[in-house]
Amino acid sequence: MTIVVVCAGGPKQELCSFSSFQQQDVVFIGADRGALYLLEHGITPHAIVGDFDSLTDEEYQFVMAQTNDQQRFQEEKNETDTDLALLKAYTYAPQEIVLTGVTGGRLDHYEAAVRSIYRLQKEHPQVELKIINHANMLQFLLPGTHTIFADDRYRYLSFFAHEEPIQDVTLRQVKYETTNEEISLGTSRFTSNEIIGTSGSISFSHGICLMIRSID
């Protein structure tokens, strides 16, 4: 399974752990300052993308010397650096895209990243997209049945309606199970659930579900 990890240039302390990805078939893409973050973690990016306005001249020259796949764009553009890196990620025909480096800093950049993965998840339902930082994993689920495997890194499991209510919600093998219920807009009722055993599941017939998994 091909996984693409896109590292953006948000606060370093918010980045996900790269250790587990380095042991898999993973492509790393650096978006702007995220390319420098990858190199600081001992990871050579397969590609680097952005306008690089957050790098000094010295940092820019260093980053550019590390890979043959470089795409530099003008600062005045319609897409964010993160958007450009996500589009680059699809050229590797991945089954999963992980985005990190978009939390803990500017809220407009975080909101833009969430909207981007929402749009791309709808456009490419066969590719799983996630935002991961040091303590959370966020992704959008489309209607259907989804198996959620237990993970010690993410004990808590929360579900939220995105843009419209989620209908016929059935939760199984979790602490708080439901059958054919609705997650309405604005409710916090489906926050902080927990998987019982090795895996749980959620199924629903209509709507878009924002799932957030968090550590204690």
Q: How many CB atoms lie within 10 A of CB 186?
A: 8
| Gap between the Cα atoms of 78 and 80, Å rounded | 7
- Regions of the chain where pLDDT drops below 50: none
Q: What stretches of 21-155 adopt beta strand conformation (E)? A: 26-31, 47-50, 70-72, 96-100, 128-132, 136-141, 144-149
Please give the pLDDT value at position 4. Answer: 96
Supply the pLDDT for residue 213. 96
pLDDT value of position 206 = 96
By the 8 A CB rule, do 130 and 99 touch? yes
3-state secondary structure of 110: helix
DSSP calls for 58-76: HHHHHHHTT-S-EEE--SS
* pLDDT at res. 73: 65
Strand partners, 169: 181
pLDDT at 43: 92
**Which pLDDT belongs to residue 97?**
97
Task: Identify any residues that bridge with 4 across adjacent strands, giving them in sequence order.
Answer: 27, 97
**111 membership: H or E segment, kind and range:** helix 107-123
